Chain A
Amino acid sequence: MKRERLFLSILLVLSIFILSKVPAGTEEAVRIRCASTTSTQNSGLFEHILPIFQKKTGIKVDVVAVGTGAAIEIGKRGDADVVLVHAKELELKALQEGYFVNRYDLMYNDFVIIGPVDDSLKIKGMKSAAEAFKRIAENNYPFVSRGDKSGTHTKELLIWKKAGINPKGQRWYLEVGQGMEKTQRIASEKQSYTLTDRGTWLATKDKDRLEMKIVLEGDPILFNQYGVMAVNPQRHKHVKYREAMEFIKWLISKEGQEAIASFKDRYGNQLFIPNARP
């Protein structure tokens, strides 16, 4: 039967294809896993610095990009070797609980409040993020929240706390549970206010054709510190601690810090300012 033979040969080819090894080289490289955040990944930072590190050390870093809360959780469970996130209080807490070791400040940028281009609530000109949030709440004006325990979400909740407002469950408060870029797009579609990090904002505002602008910046509470730390090898025996430390040491070295500083988005903006103290 001609048909049968055709079927068998296709099955054979398929099996060979599936069972064949991945080309050498990708398999042989030492891989470590870094749990990090969507804001760092979407900015393009990793594509800029990881090839430099890999070229120097031969270590390939696989990035799993989630929110800060989830990234720390992945590290706690031992499913990553190193985490690079931005919620210092949460990081220090997890460090104290013994899940991580060797935390370093790595770099910073800042958060900004963005809103509709016409800035209906006239927030521009205000100095305090908490006061701005208060005005949004008093007017029941739509506000889009990440709502995903990310670093940005953690910061946002801190500002609400400072403003003395509990927005949860309010009709104007939209928790979308999405990454930063998508949250910005939703805020733009709904012409509402939101908190974002300057890196994501600069990298995406034109590409995504956001009908938004920065309405408040520069309040000290909006400082956005990124940190890096290794999963505690005493808690999870299997982690590649040596390679993870090699990565961390490189990130905070002069060379790593210069690599971060030299990363620019397509419009030439520097998105992260290195500030490690080795």
Chain B
Amino acid sequence: MQGLDAMGSIIDGFKKAFILILNLDKELLDIIFLSLRVSGSALLVSSAIGIPLAAILGLKRFHGKGLIISLLNTFMGLPPVVVGLFVYIFLSRSGPLGSLGLLYTPSAMVIAQTILALPIVVSLCSTAIVSVDPIIKQASMTLGATPFQTYLTIIKEARYGILSGIVAAFGRVMAEVGAILIVGGNIAGYTRVMTTTIALETDKGNFELAIALGIILLMLSLVINAILHSIQGPPKKSWDLSG
């Protein structure tokens, strides 16, 4: 009986997902765009900060590097709710950054997701950079490149691995609900994104709608990953580098 019921809900969810997509429901589109905006912004910011950091971490030798790498690997598994809580405390009007008035805005959500994405970007990108053949570094220096130009050459050489890192970070932030629920407040039409809508609709017992949204979220991830992988080209290349 109950198994049948569950299957019924899932099938209804699929039907509803298609109806929602076909109708291009305005509210749903807003929610999807907000999800992409928030997670996309977080990815841009964390890549802008993370890739240079990864290059330094991957190419420079300095004291305590091992410790930093261990810390980064730990932070890759940061629980989103903990990040949400800390961002909440900092951004609250009674907190140190309260005067910015950012709590319960999309900006707060971008900050939280940037913190979640950054360790992944830095860690995976530095691995990609380390795996670049050292001959390239030597060759570029022999040819008279400045240190900055050498870095650029190596980053360019590691671009596929770097892209993989960004894809992984994207997966993490798109699927995340704990942090943005706390710092965004799930305000209808303002900070409500796909994952928080799914949580709310499940709470309200609208399982079909929640399942429909889940299906749309999955399809979105699939499309974006497919695009990124098509850019990345044959997988052989990146595996070769890391081997």
Residues in A lying within 8 Å of B, measured CB to CB? 3, 6-7, 10, 14-15, 17-18, 26, 31, 33, 38, 42, 62-65, 76-79, 178-179, 181-182, 185, 204, 207-208, 236, 238
Q: In the complex, given contacts A6-B231, A207-B205, what are 4 additional A-B residue pairs having Cβ atoms less than 8 angstroms apart?
A: A18-B44, A33-B187, A79-B103, A208-B205
Q: Which residue of B lies closest to A179 (CB)?
A: B203
Q: How far is the CB of B111 from chain A (nearest CB, A)?
A: 15
B104 touches A33 (CB 8 A): yes
A residues within 8 A CB of B231?
3, 6-7, 10
B189, B203, B206, B227: the one within 8 Å of A182 (CB): B203
- A17: chain B residues at CB < 8 Å are 36-37, 40
| Docked complex Cα distance between A42 and B205 (Å) | 10
In-complex Cβ contact of A238 among B93, B185, B186, B227 (8 A):
B93
Given A208-B205, A236-B93, the answer on whether A62 and B104 have CB atoms closer than 8 Å is: yes
Kindly list the 7 A-B residue pairs having the minimum CB-CB distance in the complex, ordered from nearest: A78-B93, A64-B185, A208-B205, A77-B94, A62-B187, A7-B231, A18-B40
**Chain B interface extent, by class:** 20 to 34
For the complex, would chain B's binding face be called helix, strand, loop or mixed by DSSP majority?
A: loop
- A205 CB to nearest B CB, Å: 10
* Interface residue B238 (Cβ < 8 Å from any Cβ of A): no
Alpha-carbon gap, A207 to B187, bound state (A) = 23
Question: Is there a chain A Cβ closer than 8 Å to B92's Cβ?
Answer: yes
Assess the A15–B233 pair: CB atoms within 8 A: no
CB contact under 8 A between A42 and B44, given known A236-B93, A238-B93: no
Q: Which residue of B lies closest to A182 (CB)?
A: B203
Binary contact track B220-235/A, C-beta < 8 Å → 1, others 0: 0000000100010100
A238 touches B104 (CB 8 A): no
Q: Is the CB of B93 within 8 A of A181?
A: no
Task: Give the distance to chain B from A23, nearest Cβ to Cβ, in Å.
Answer: 10
B205 interface neighbour in A26, A65, A204, Cβ under 8 Å: A204
B204 interface residue, CB < 8 Å from A?
A: yes
Chain A neighbourhood of B40, CB < 8 A: 14, 17-18
> Which of A3, A15, A63, A182 has a CB less than 8 Å from the CB of B44?
A15
Question: A181–B103 contact, CB under 8 A?
Answer: no
The residues of B that contact A204 with a CB separation of less than 8 Å are 204-205
Contact B98 A78 (CB under 8 A): yes
Q: Verify if B41 is at the interface (C-beta below 8 Å from A).
A: yes
B86 at the A/B interface (Cβ < 8 Å)? no
Question: What is the distance, in angstroms, from A228's C-beta to the closest C-beta of chain B?
Answer: 18
The answer, yes or no, to whether B101 is at the interface (CB within 8 Å) is: yes
Q: Which residues of A contact B44 (CB under 8 A)?
A: 14-15, 18
Asked if B187 contacts A64 (CB within 8 A), the reply is yes
